[in-house]
Chain A
Amino acid sequence: MTSIETHLPTDVSASNSAIATWLTSADHKKVGRLFIGSGLVGLVAGLVLAILVTFERINADSYQILSVDSVPQVLAAVRLLLTFGAVVPLLLGLSIAVVPLQLGARSNAFPRLAASGFWMWLTGLGLAVASIIGNGGPNGGDSDLVDLYLAGSIVLGLGVLMAATSIAVSVLTTRAPGMGILRAPLFTWSSLVGSLAVILTMPVLIGTTVYVYVDHRYARAGFGGNTGVNQWVGWALSQPFSYLLAIPALGIVLDVVPTIGRTRLAQRSAAFGAIGVVAVSALAVVTQTSITLPWEGEKFFDNAGTKIADLLPFLLLNVVPILGLLGVLGLALLTLKSAKPSISAPLTFVLIGLLGILLGAAAHIVGLVEDAGLIGSVYEAGVYVPITFGAIAIAFGGICFWGPKLWGRSISDKAATPLALLALLAIGLDSIPYFVAGFADQPASLVNGFSYSGPQDLWNALTCAGFVVMLLASIAFIGLALKSFTSGAVAGNDPWDGSTLEWATSSPPPENNFAGVIVVNSATPLADTKSASSTGKVA
């Protein structure tokens, strides 16, 4: 039987500089924090570009900042940065940093693979963004830079795939003795489900991008050249792929709620099912298309057999994931009902984020009813933004929650909680006006040259304001986190009175996380130990 090397030279050399140590480290805590830090930078960049686009939309008569040719590229850059530059690294980073601690493991599986994944992701994202800046990307004017965009996307996808593989194998193979999968914390479970979903779908995206790259570079015969890029690979930047990327966020919600509420999660086994059900969206992702529903008003019952045949995949791919999301919300509320939670930043962030994801997912169903005529309108952006902002808000909650463990210092609750309310405001401003404008047939692909009856300037001004609010909240959060994690209050080993293994080690954890191997006898091993200690029994 192969022995696995888990004693990594995490701090490669004591003589190395701090920067060199960070650049070469395979320590999961460092790699996770690199992902999180880079994700926060990507978030700010994406929001700045989103403000440019929405500002341009306010006055639909003439271009203020952008040019007509650059619009598809900037729209693609916004989605790329918010999805693969923010949501993915923030949630992947939390998973890589926290999951091994929750598992009671000394390290993650294949730590060098995860570290390589980070650098590949960063390189790919950098290449893709640089190509867009240089007039490449979807609909780009510079052919070589369009190729660079596609090559960068492939490298980015491989990086995410490598990091996801490390997480999935960690959960499957490095759990502490006694920790069956149903005893694993919910964030660990959601990270496993999310990673497996990425492992099954990202290769499909990579394969399609390889086709588009080879065709664009050599033939330009089958995939539409520059203008075909979004048609073939743009599905990675919209629904239902965004559900799939947000799956780890659901586990954050179900770990934060009972811990902050100082109680146990209600119906724990149902929570595993609810998160698994959301992964059904992976099926929709690999089909690379959304199943739409022809309604036809009063004639709905005409051709009933065909309609029912269309209804089944519609329900499976679009409605079933929402049942999972509702299940997560229901379990969170049920848990809070039996608890007396204090208002805290992690709890506020995760609940607001979950509401955002639910709003987007519910609106997605309406958008797929063909008779509503919303396909191709900005309504789709109104679906995308709350899901994305919701996942980001939950990631912020996760940083507030596990930040003290990773950095050893706490984020001020009083300062962070209002930022969660700003995120809620941003979700509202960037979804409802988009919904209204979508019903008024404002096209998604244009930022200028459209008109419809109604106060179209108002809707677009509100969405611009929403992105400004989210940008301010994000910058304030980053500043607060930087200040707190460098000079904030010392957190202690167990600041939330937690019940899972990550709170059993010091803050920040030592190089190999735990002093020894731990035996787990329940889903809440630390809570059991505390209970046994308080009653004088030996655990």
Chain B
Amino acid sequence: MLALPPASQPAPRRQVFVGTAVAGAAGLMLVGGMMATWLKFRADAPVRESMKRGFIKDWMPEKIVVPEVAANIMLLGLLVVCVMAQWAVYSAKRNDRTHTGLALGVTALMALAVINAQIFIWTQMGVGAKDGAFHSMFYASTGAMTALLFSGLVFTAVAAFRYLGGRTKEVELVSAHALYWYFLAAAFCAVWFVIYVQK
């Protein structure tokens, strides 16, 4: 066997960060694909006459009231999550363990609040997935988004446990965690606009 020239151990190439970027891209494609299908159904829906709004697409039943305030709170909550996650990166880079822990804690708290708002929306709407195409697609879309948000919450927990457990040099993990929340916020922006604004 020929001996190839050896070298010293190379520096890690931000494997977790790159992996998170790839996973985030996959998540965006998931949500993007689902929103595209939603818009296709909405565009293909027949036109009917509404008592209140004239001729409209026969897509969302008129009796359904979507709690838009809660949806807006979710959007704002996710923006706060991104700020908190970036604060964690800022603190971790400065080896500020206290503020990193605080930032990750607030991130988790806000993420829980966002998921809680989603559950509030489902409860307030009071419709079942079996009631029609709009209903099943609404639950499938928002359910998939909630699953992604839950994965972000798990990521936050993992980052917090590892960092507060003593691995304070793992700034890359905290950065990757922030990147994942940016992806989730971007994905939710699409869901918010398509499902809660355009409906």
A208 within 8 A of B: yes
B-facing mask of A212-249, CB < 8 A → 1, else 0? Answer: 01110111011100000000000000000000000000
B11 within 8 A of A: yes
Select A110's contact among B19, B29, B169, B173, beta carbons within 8 Å.
Answer: B19
Task: Report yes or no: B18 in contact with A169, Cβ–Cβ below 8 A.
Answer: yes
Q: Which residue of A lies closest to B23 (CB)?
A: A165
Task: Report yes or no: B13 in contact with A204, Cβ–Cβ below 8 A.
Answer: no
A17 within 8 A of B: no
Task: Report yes or no: B12 in contact with A1, Cβ–Cβ below 8 A.
Answer: yes
B39 to chain A, nearest CB (A): 13
Tell me the bound Cα distance from A332 to B170 in angstroms: 46
Point out the residues of chain B lying under 8 angstroms from A203, CB to CB. 26-27, 29-30, 33
Point out the residues of chain A lying under 8 angstroms from B26, CB to CB. 161, 165, 199-200, 202-203
Point out the residues of chain B lying under 8 angstroms from A533, CB to CB. 2
A271 within 8 A of B: no
A102 to chain B, nearest CB (A): 13
Among the interface residues A200, A214, A221, which one has the most CB atoms of the partner chain B within 10 A?
A: A214
Point out the residues of chain B lying under 8 angstroms from A215, CB to CB. 133, 136-137, 140
Task: Report yes or no: B129 in contact with A218, Cβ–Cβ below 8 A.
Answer: yes
Task: Report yes or no: B15 in contact with A173, Cβ–Cβ below 8 A.
Answer: yes
Task: Report yes or no: A219 in contact with B1, Cβ–Cβ below 8 A.
Answer: no
A109 within 8 A of B: yes
Point out the residues of chain B lying under 8 angstroms from A168, CB to CB. 22
Task: Report yes or no: B129 in contact with A516, Cβ–Cβ below 8 A.
Answer: no
Task: Report yes or no: B171 in contact with A1, Cβ–Cβ below 8 A.
Answer: yes
Stretch among A85-93, A399-407, A517-525 lining the B interface: A517-525
Point out the residues of chain A lying under 8 angstroms from B12, CB to CB. 1-4, 173
Tell me the bound Cα distance from A4 to B132 in angstroms: 48
A206 within 8 A of B: yes
Tell me the bound Cα distance from A130 to B41 in angstroms: 31
Among the interface residues B18, B128, B131, which one has the most CB atoms of the partner chain A within 10 A?
A: B18
Select B4's contact among A1, A172, A526, beta carbons within 8 Å.
Answer: A526
A201 within 8 A of B: yes
Point out the residues of chain A lying under 8 angstroms from B27, CB to CB. 203
A211-B37 CB under 8 A given contacts A4-B12, A200-B25, A219-B129: yes
Task: Report yes or no: A165 in contact with B29, Cβ–Cβ below 8 A.
Answer: no
Tell me the bound Cα distance from A206 to B3 in angstroms: 46
Select B137's contact among A200, A222, A519, beta carbons within 8 Å.
Answer: A222
Task: Report yes or no: B30 in contact with A1, Cβ–Cβ below 8 A.
Answer: no
Q: Give the size of the chain A interface in residues (CB under 8 angstroms).
A: 55
Task: Report yes or no: B29 in contact with A539, Cβ–Cβ below 8 A.
Answer: no
Task: Report yes or no: B30 in contact with A529, Cβ–Cβ below 8 A.
Answer: no
Tell me the bound Cα distance from A396 to B169 in angstroms: 46
Task: Report yes or no: B139 in contact with A214, Cβ–Cβ below 8 A.
Answer: yes
Task: Report yes or no: A517 in contact with B136, Cβ–Cβ below 8 A.
Answer: no
Chain A, 172-199, CB within 8 A of any chain B CB: 172-174, 176-177, 196, 199
B179 to chain A, nearest CB (A): 13
Q: Which residue of A lies closest to B130 (CB)?
A: A218
Task: Report yes or no: B16 in contact with A219, Cβ–Cβ below 8 A.
Answer: no
Task: Report yes or no: B25 in contact with A207, Cβ–Cβ below 8 A.
Answer: no
B9 within 8 A of A: yes
Task: Report yes or no: A286 in contact with B15, Cβ–Cβ below 8 A.
Answer: no
B31 within 8 A of A: yes
A208-B7 CB under 8 A given contacts A173-B15, A203-B27, A504-B1: no
Tell me the bound Cα distance from A494 to B2 in angstroms: 10
Task: Report yes or no: B33 in contact with A517, Cβ–Cβ below 8 A.
Answer: no
A316 to chain B, nearest CB (A): 19
Among the interface residues B41, B128, B137, B169, which one has the most CB atoms of the partner chain A within 10 A?
A: B137
Task: Report yes or no: A214 in contact with B33, Cβ–Cβ below 8 A.
Answer: no
A21 within 8 A of B: no
A465 within 8 A of B: no
Select A172's contact among B5, B7, B18, B31, beta carbons within 8 Å.
Answer: B18
A165-B19 CB under 8 A given contacts A200-B25, A219-B129, A222-B133: yes
Select A286's contact among B3, B19, B33, beta carbons within 8 Å.
Answer: B33
A491 to chain B, nearest CB (A): 13
A506 within 8 A of B: yes
B48 within 8 A of A: no
Task: Report yes or no: B10 in contact with A177, Cβ–Cβ below 8 A.
Answer: yes
A138 to chain B, nearest CB (A): 18
Tell me the bound Cα distance from A232 to B171 in angstroms: 43
A231 to chain B, nearest CB (A): 12
Task: Report yes or no: A219 in contact with B2, Cβ–Cβ below 8 A.
Answer: no
Point out the residues of chain A lying under 8 angstroms from B32, CB to CB. 204
Point out the residues of chain B lying under 8 angstroms from A213, CB to CB. 140
Select B15's contact among A4, A199, A211, A521, beta carbons within 8 Å.
Answer: A4
Task: Report yes or no: B132 in contact with A221, Cβ–Cβ below 8 A.
Answer: yes
Among the interface residues B1, B128, B129, which one has the most CB atoms of the partner chain A within 10 A?
A: B1
B121 within 8 A of A: no
Tell me the bound Cα distance from A221 to B11 in angstroms: 55
Task: Report yes or no: B172 in contact with A1, Cβ–Cβ below 8 A.
Answer: yes
A206-B30 CB under 8 A given contacts A109-B15, A177-B7, A222-B136: yes
A344 within 8 A of B: no
Task: Report yes or no: B33 in contact with A219, Cβ–Cβ below 8 A.
Answer: no
Point out the residues of chain A lying under 8 angstroms from B112, CB to CB. none
B5 to chain A, nearest CB (A): 5
B8 to chain A, nearest CB (A): 7
Q: Which residue of A lies closest to B172 (CB)?
A: A2
Tell me the bound Cα distance from A92 to B5 in angstroms: 30
Task: Report yes or no: A199 in contact with B25, Cβ–Cβ below 8 A.
Answer: yes
Q: List 10 A-B contacts (CB under 8 A).
A: A1-B169, A4-B12, A204-B30, A215-B136, A215-B137, A221-B136, A518-B6, A518-B7, A529-B2, A539-B4
The 10 closest A-B pairs by CB, nearest first: A222-B133, A204-B33, A2-B172, A203-B30, A219-B136, A218-B129, A173-B13, A203-B29, A207-B34, A214-B140
Chain A positions near chain B (C-beta within 8 angstroms): 1-4, 109-110, 161, 165, 168-169, 172-174, 176-177, 196, 199-208, 210-211, 213-215, 217-219, 221-223, 286, 493-494, 501, 504-506, 516-519, 521, 525-526, 529-530, 533, 539
Assuming A165-B23, A218-B129, A221-B132, what are 15 further A-B pairs, CB within 8 angstroms? A1-B14, A173-B12, A177-B10, A200-B26, A201-B29, A202-B26, A204-B33, A207-B30, A214-B136, A217-B129, A219-B131, A221-B133, A516-B7, A517-B6, A529-B5
